[in-house]
């Protein structure tokens, strides 16, 4: 049975708690992995560290029982869309799967992107806001490629330079410059607080090309520590 067959009121009510728990797992994973995260790691490396930390947290009997009873954490989950097969399939970065309600097993989907200015001094490449909102980022939700059966999902920005506020301003600028309506914005960025421990979160709403609306949480995580010095 697909999620689209579940009563929408039931799914929305369930997602209220699911959102909180999924965001909490991400916050725990980021916090535990943070000592290993630095500004030179690529997206897959950061995601891998966070996911492994999330999985370890689910083994911790000190956390509320519902976490290890209800949830599992997936990484780089292949997705059969757009006619792609095999190694060409798109992959969901982080997926929190719930075993409740059992006939549906809903998922909470996080798509992640690096955010970093290009550094001429260190000759490091940049990861601008255009990639975050581009065809392999936010637009995957807008086009209904990711999370098509759900009313919300989340983008995670791995902040590797500057501050969350800087990248929020960049995201607002990109929204303002969306003259071609690629992002199909129905509600612009608003600051929200799902967890006290994760302060840099915003929400926007977008009309999918199918006509349905999706709310996207934008979670900006500090990943900007300098890389460890090379041993001499």
pLDDT value, residue 32: 97
Of the listed ranges 71-80, 90-99, 123-132, the least confidently predicted one is: 71-80
Total count of residues recorded for the chain: 232
From residue 71, give the alpha-carbon distance in Å to each of 12, 24, 32, 55.
Answer: 18, 12, 18, 10
Model confidence at 10: pLDDT above 80: no
pLDDT, tens digit (0-9, with 9 covering 90-100), for 99-137: 766 566 788 999 999 999 987 655 567 899 999 999 999
Structure confidence at residue 226 as a pLDDT band (50, 70, 90): confident
| Nearest of 154, 163, 162 to residue 204 by alpha carbon | 154
pLDDT value, residue 178: 96
* Burial of 128 per CB tally in 10 Å (0-12, 13-18, 19+): middle
Of the listed ranges 71-80, 119-128, 136-145, the least confidently predicted one is: 119-128
Please state, rounded to an integer, the average pLDDT across all residues of the chain.
Answer: 85
Cα separation of 122 and 107, whole Å?
Answer: 40
pTM: 0.87
| Nearest of 100, 185, 97, 184 to residue 147 by alpha carbon | 97
Model confidence at 216: pLDDT above 60: yes
Query: What are the structural domain ranges in the chain?
Result: 3-222
Tokens describing residue 204: 């926007």
pLDDT value, residue 28: 97
């Amino acid at each position: 049975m697909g999620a689209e067959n579940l009563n929408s009121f039931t799914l929305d009510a369930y997602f209220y708690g699911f959102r909180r728990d999924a965001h909490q797992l991400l916050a725990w994973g980021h916090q535990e992995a943070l000592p290993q995260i630095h500004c030179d790691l690529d997206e897959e490396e950061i995601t891998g560290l966070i996911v492994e930390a999330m999985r370890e947290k689910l083994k911790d009997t000190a956390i509320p029982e519902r976490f290890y009873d209800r949830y599992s954490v997936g990484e780089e989950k292949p997705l059969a869309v757009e006619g792609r097969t095999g190694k060409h399939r798109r992959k969901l970065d982080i997926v929190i799967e719930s075993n409740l309600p059992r006939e549906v097993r809903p998922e909470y989907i996080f798509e992640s992107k690096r955010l970093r200015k290009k550094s001429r001094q260190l000759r490091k490449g940049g990861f601008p806001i255009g990639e975050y909102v581009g065809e392999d980022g936010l637009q995957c939700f807008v086009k209904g490629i990711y999370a098509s059966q759900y009313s919300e999902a989340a983008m995670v920005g791995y902040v590797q330079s500057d501050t969350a506020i800087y990248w929020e301003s960049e995201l607002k600028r990109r929204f303002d410059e969306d003259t071609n309506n690629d992002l199909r914005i129905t509600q612009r960025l608003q600051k929200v607080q799902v967890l006290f421990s994760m302060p840099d979160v915003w929400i926007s709403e977008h009309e999918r090309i199918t006509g349905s609306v999706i709310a996207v949480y934008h979670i900006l995580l500090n990943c900007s520590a300098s890389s460890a010095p090379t041993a001499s």
